[in-house]
Structure 1
Amino acid sequence: MEGPKVTRAIVLHVDRRDRSAPPSSERAAEARLEEAVGLALAIDLEIADRIIAPVTAPRPSTLIGSGKVAEIAERVKVTEAELVVVNAQLSPIQQRNLEKEWGSKVLDRTGLILEIFGRRASTREGTLQVELAHLQYQKSRLVRSWTHLERQRGGFGFLGGPGESQLEADRRIIQERINRIEKQLESVVKTRALHRKGRARVPYPVIALVGYTNAGKSTLFNRLSGAGVLAKDLLFATLDPTMRVIELPHGRKVIISDTVGFISDLPTSLIAAFRATLEEVLSADVILHVRDVAHADAEAQAEDVDRVLEELGIDELRRSHIIEVWNKLDLLPAEERAAREAQALRKPGCVLVSAVTGEGLPALLELVEGRLGAADTVYEILLDPEDGQGQAWLHDRGEVLSRRNYEDGRILMKVRLGSDRAGQAQARFGNAMKLLGQRRAAAE
């Protein structure tokens, strides 16, 4: 039995050049092209050719110049490509015109990302978000896609009249579906908000992993949590956020959350549609920005992640919660590795790791504990011998720094507690609880 038919595709990167901008301000066209190829491979396309089209003055009808349009038309014939992936956002008119010129289907960057998201979504929320974004995208392209839509339907009522066109009817149907999905998403978001409140009552601090797609977030998540999250060398290998409870070296429990990978030039509509999947980032106690330092375009990717974080609403105060995790240490040549290690030492809140080998992870966890403990306060709590539940409470909700047993059976425990736990501890232990303070805790 033959497998599913593989679609042959040409990947075209449109290099929009601004002559007034310095060359260093734009990412290399080759790197952008390779990223677009990676996106195409994520939906199992067979790459027949890869082309860069420089553009300084975009054409309203086709985006790229007529000479390049003709050249690609010839390549489509020679390679027998059925699809041209254009690494740019096309208007419906441009997409229609290019399909006519090339005699093949055309998929722009937004459509390609939607295809990937559609394959990766597994939760109800993720599926709804993908469908919503896809319907919003298709709604603007009805005039391109459906050739029968200009036929008129009969009027209703006594006066008759021209009625509504099939195009208008289909747009109305799509809008009604969009409205239904938005209502369903509101319900899902409310449910997740209740879950978040439930975690706040537990509560464990939340550690959120963010980073450019394919930076190794899911591999790091798996290494830290022992979970079986899909971790492949594919762009957008994971879409839906995944959470696990893990225990840090000194016994503190935290929730670690893996999120969808970021990417450059993600359309605003998609950021809005997928914002809910990144809400954990906005409320996280610590944010781990995972970077692929072995990638030639690592700095530009980091800038793209910072830009998305700004669009999500990460303010300057929250930026102090970010730890940079320079991943893929194992892929660096010896000289570059030494340079990166020296660079990381000079940069506060930065650690070099390999999620594959585990190297550097103890230093990462120590840094996480330090960030979480920065806002904590240390207390001494004197417990009666029979108060085993009190001991368990402190071990479960705080970080026990020391323990002293007296001859009469009483136990003196020195515990570091977060501000969210201090009030609960005061209500639980009352006068048996004595404040030591943060400064002394740091010296311990």
Structure 2
Amino acid sequence: MTTQAEPRPVQPGTDTSGVPFRITDPGRVPSQRYVSPEFSRLEKEKLWPHVWQMACRLEEIPRPGDFTEYKIGDQSILVVRESEDSVKAYFNACRHRATALGVGSGTFHGGQIVCPYHGWRWNLDGSNSYVYAQRGFKPGCLDADFLKLRECQVGTLFGMVFINMDPAAPPLHEAMAGIAEALAPIGFERMRVRWWRHVVLPANWKIAQEAFMEAYHVMQAHPSLAMGMSDEDFDVDSFAGEFECFPGGHAHSLPLSEMKVPVQGMSAAEYFVQYNNALYFGTDAYATEREMFIQQGLLERDIEPEQFPAAFFQALYDYAAGAGIALPPPAQNTSGYGHIFPNITVLPAYGNSIIYRVRPNGDNPESCIFEVWAVQIPAEGDEPGQPELEGPIPVDDWPQILKEDFYNILAQQQGLRTQGSDELVLSESYEAMIVNNHRTIDEYLAR
């Protein structure tokens, strides 16, 4: 796990020469990777069926029998709470005539998964419990192993349920090696959903995700965060930080060695307060009412401007201790800002986080489903209920910062279609997560 400001090389022994529009120069990405039906079909065949992907959060299936349906491409997976401590994932098809056994989310009552077509039933562990009028079937058709529901691999990490359709794929703990350890101090598993929304964007899933895999765009794209910084003011090397890239496509950002105020003439207190306000009003996730309450209390006290950030964090932990909020100690070796391959990005702060999941919308390479979770470590006794997906929310109805990102995604996808765009140019330092992601995709497509 070497710290580096550039993406890792392709895994030794991997021959990507047969991959169309492959990455040959880490600073250049062929535009066809975002618009080509051929490339999209290859991802559908060689990436999504073989990679670990987040199917749901544990809060979505809190009780035995609860289920939710996860769709990727033309595949439908039922994620089922088998018991308090066990989760199963099944291909959503009856073993009789392939009828879907569940749609959306709900509960299999009585611990029985019942086919709505002919009434065949399965226990929550996938074993068959009933075949209607079984005397009409040859004994060989009723073999117990044959009748079991077909399973995906399943595992849990950071309060999320991950599935892998490939029975030969390495287990989750191996696939997440590196990133699981790096992000462990953030306490994602303690967080619960405040809201969960989605939008359908006319853009490739990778383009949509890459908007959140670098901080290089902040000065131009987000005026409320840039606060009038000029190019001379904005120290992109300090602001963007340094990345650590892992095998498997995962990456995270290391913490800055010191906080710098990037706007001339602004005190540490002024910058810190305005930045928090921008995040609160612009995302309603990265900073929340809890932090605004603490911040407002400090503004009513006589605190030296340079000491204000430290005073805020002390007040945050004092408040958390009194309210029974299980904040973890400050992380020393990560900012928490990270990418979990292939399609999860996390941006935590203050015991909160934004979580993004982006996936293809059917077979159209220029359409994707973009989901946003706002999560937070709750106060003791303040556990929220099951989260419900809202939307699709029109782009104009999102908080300002997210809206700015979405409009840039749409503009980028439009530009990719022009004859003036045959490849994208990336910084191996500022956009290392993106380059690392593409190289890992090529490793899957080369198999």
TM-score, normalization: structure 2?
Answer: 0.25
Bigger-Rg structure (1/2): 1
Choose between structure 1 and 2: higher helix proportion. 1
- TM-score norm. by structure 1 comes to 0.25
